[in-house]
Amino acid sequence: MSIPIYTYDAVIVGSGLAGSAAARELKQAGKNVAVITKLHPLRSHSGAAQGGINAALSDVDSIELHEFDTVKGADYLADQDAVELMCQKAPETIRWAERMGAAFSRTDDGKIAQRPFGGQSSPRACFAKDRTGLTLLQTIYEQALRVGVDFIDEWYAADIIYEDGKVSGVVAFNIRNQEKAIFNAKAVMFATGGYARAFKISSNAHANTGDGLSIVARHGLPLEDMEFVQFHPSGLSGSGILISEAARGEGGKLLNSEGERFMERYAPNKLELASRDVVARAIINEIREGRGVGPRKDAVYIDLTHLGKEKIMERLPELRDLAITFLGLDMIKEPILISATAHYSMGGIPVDIDGHVRKNNDALVEGFYAAGECACVSVHGANRLGANSVLEALLFGRHVGQSMVNDIETLYLREAEQSDADTMIAEMERILTNNGKETVPGLRNELQQSMTDNAGVFRTEETLSKQVEIVKELRKRFENIRIDDKSKIFNTDLQEAIELGHMLDYALFIVESALARKESRGAHYREDFTTRDDEAFMKHTMAYMDANGEISLDYMAVTPGKFEPQERTY
Amino acid sequence: MTTITTQTITFNVFRFNAETDYLPHYKTIEMEVTSEEVVLDILNRIKWDVDGSFSYRRSCRHGICGACAIKVNGKGVLACKERMNDLIELFGTELTLEPLSIKRAVKDMIIDKEDFWKKHEQVKPYLIDEIDEHPESENLVTPKEEAQLLEADYCIQCGLCHYSCPSLENNESYIGPAAFAAAYRFNADVRDKATLDRLDIVNAPDQGVWDCVKCFECQEVCPKEVNPIEKITKLHNQVFENGVAINNVATRHAVGFAHSIKKHGLLDEAELVRYSEGTVPMLMKHGKVGFKMFKVGKVVMPWNMPKSDKLDEVKALIKSSSTVKF
Ligand SMILES: Cc1cc2nc3c(=O)[nH]c(=O)nc-3n(C[C@H](O)[C@H](O)[C@H](O)COP(=O)(O)OP(=O)(O)OC[C@H]3O[C@@H](n4cnc5c(N)ncnc54)[C@H](O)[C@@H]3O)c2cc1C
Ligand code: SF4
Ligand code: SF4
Ligand code: FES
What value does the mean pLDDT of chain B take?
84
Nearest in space to B252 (alpha carbons), one of B198, B310, B211, B199: B211
Nearest in space to B141 (alpha carbons), one of B125, B157, B123, B127: B127
Q: Does B103 touch chain A (CB under 8 A)?
A: no
Residue A261: active-site member: no
Tell me which of A58-67, A111-120, A211-220, A412-421 is least confident.
Answer: A111-120
pLDDT the model gives residue B306: 41
Helices and strands (DSSP H and E) totals, chain B: 13, 7
Q: Which residues contact A327 (CB under 8 A, 6 or more apart)?
A: A236, A237, A238, A336, A337, B1, B36
With 50 as the cut, is the pLDDT of residue B297 above it? Answer: no
Mean pLDDT along residues A288-313: 93
Taking CB atoms and an 8 Å limit, are A145 and B126 in contact across chains? yes
Assessment of whether the complete model's pTM goes beyond 0.90 = yes
pLDDT the model gives residue A270: 83
Please report the ipTM that was assigned to this predicted complex: 0.94
With 80 as the cut, is the pLDDT of residue A79 above it? Answer: yes
pLDDT digits (tens, 9 = 90+) for A380-424: 999 998 899 999 999 999 999 999 999 999 999 999 999 999 999
pLDDT the model gives residue B254: 61
pLDDT digits (tens, 9 = 90+) for A460-494: 999 999 999 999 999 999 999 999 999 999 999 99
More confident residue, B268 or A243: A243
With 80 as the cut, is the pLDDT of residue B253 above it? Answer: no
With 70 as the cut, is the pLDDT of residue B275 above it? Answer: no
Does an H or E element contain A181, and which? strand A180-190
Instruction: Name the pLDDT band for B2 (thresholds 50, 70, 90).
Output: low
Alpha carbon of B265 to ligand 1 centroid (Å):
51
How far, in Å, CA of A307 to CA of A93, rounded? 35
Task: Decide if B226 contacts B151 (C-beta within 8 A).
Answer: yes
Tell me which of A75-84, A170-179, A546-555, B271-280 is least confident.
Answer: B271-280
Among protein residues, the one with the nearest Cα to ligand 3's atom 8 is B158
Q: Does A90 touch chain B (CB under 8 A)?
A: no
With 90 as the cut, is the pLDDT of residue A362 above it? Answer: yes
Residues above pLDDT 70, as percent of chain B: 75
Q: Which residue of chain B is at minimal alpha-carbon distance from A484?
A: B52
* Residue A356: strand pairing partners: A369
Instruction: Name the pLDDT band for A117 (thresholds 50, 70, 90).
Output: confident
pLDDT digits (tens, 9 = 90+) for A439-463: 999 999 999 999 999 999 999 999 9
Mean pLDDT along residues A326-345: 94
pLDDT the model gives residue B317: 54
pLDDT digits (tens, 9 = 90+) for A516-540: 999 999 999 999 999 999 999 999 9
Chain B neighbors of A294, CB-CB under 8 A: 1-2
Among protein residues, the one with the nearest Cα to ligand 3's atom 7 is B155
Å from B253 to nearest chain A CA? Answer: 32
pLDDT digits (tens, 9 = 90+) for A126-173: 999 888 999 999 999 999 999 999 999 999 999 999 999 999 999 999
With 50 as the cut, is the pLDDT of residue B295 above it? Answer: no
Indicate if ligand 2 lies below 6 Å from the C-beta of B209: no
Taking CB atoms and an 8 Å limit, are A206 and B154 in contact across chains? no
Residues enclosing ligand 4, CB less than 6 A?
A: B 58-61, 63-68, 78-80
Mean pLDDT along residues A11-18: 98
Task: Decide if A106 contacts A415 (C-beta within 8 A).
Answer: no
Chain B neighbors of A134, CB-CB under 8 A: 64, 154, 156
Backbone angles phi, psi at A252, to 5 degrees: -60, 135
CB < 8 Å from B in window 485-524 of A = 485, 487-493
Instruction: Name the pLDDT band for B262 (thresholds 50, 70, 90).
Output: low
Taking CB atoms and an 8 Å limit, are B19 and A241 in contact across chains? no
Nearest in space to A290 (alpha carbons), one of A302, A282, A279, A298: A298
HEC per residue, B173-200: CCCCHHHHHHHHHHHCCCCCCCHHHHHH
Q: Which of B77, B101, B160, B219 to mutate to test the pocket of ligand 3 (most atoms within 8 A of CB)?
A: B160
Task: Decide if A392 contacts A210 (C-beta within 8 A).
Answer: no
With 50 as the cut, is the pLDDT of residue B274 above it? Answer: no
With 60 as the cut, is the pLDDT of residue B272 above it? Answer: no
Q: Does A47 touch chain B (CB under 8 A)?
A: yes
Among protein residues, the one with the nearest Cα to ligand 2's atom 3 is B177
Å from A306 to nearest chain B CA? Answer: 19
Taking CB atoms and an 8 Å limit, are B60 and A48 in contact across chains? yes
B4, B6, B62, B158: best mutation site toward chain A, by most A Cβ within 10 Å?
B62
pLDDT digits (tens, 9 = 90+) for A215-259: 999 999 999 999 999 999 999 988 899 998 878 877 899 999 999
pLDDT the model gives residue B283: 39
Indicate if ligand 1 lies below 6 Å from the C-beta of A135: no
What value does the mean pLDDT of chain A take?
95
Q: Does A135 touch chain B (CB under 8 A)?
A: yes
Task: Decide if A328 contacts B85 (C-beta within 8 A).
Answer: yes
Instruction: Name the pLDDT band for B267 (thresholds 50, 70, 90).
Output: low
pLDDT the model gives residue B313: 55
Quote the DSSP letter at residue A146.
H
The atom of ligand 1 lying closest to the CA of A388 is 11
Coil, helix or strand for A142? helix
Does an H or E element contain A407, and which? helix A389-408
Indicate if ligand 3 lies below 6 Å from the C-beta of B168: no
The atom of ligand 2 lying closest to the CA of B168 is 8
pLDDT the model gives residue B213: 94
How far, in Å, CA of B215 to CA of B4, rounded? 39
Task: Decide if A369 contacts A395 (C-beta within 8 A).
Answer: no
Mean pLDDT along residues A351-370: 98
From the number of C-beta atoms within 10 Å of its C-beta (0-12, 13-18, 19+), residue A310 rates as exposed
pLDDT the model gives residue B13: 98
Å from B312 to nearest chain A CA? Answer: 25
With 60 as the cut, is the pLDDT of residue B276 above it? Answer: no
From the number of C-beta atoms within 10 Å of its C-beta (0-12, 13-18, 19+), residue B176 rates as buried
Pairing mode of beta strands A33-37, A5-13: parallel
pLDDT digits (tens, 9 = 90+) for A492-502: 999 999 999 99
With 70 as the cut, is the pLDDT of residue A213 above it? Answer: yes
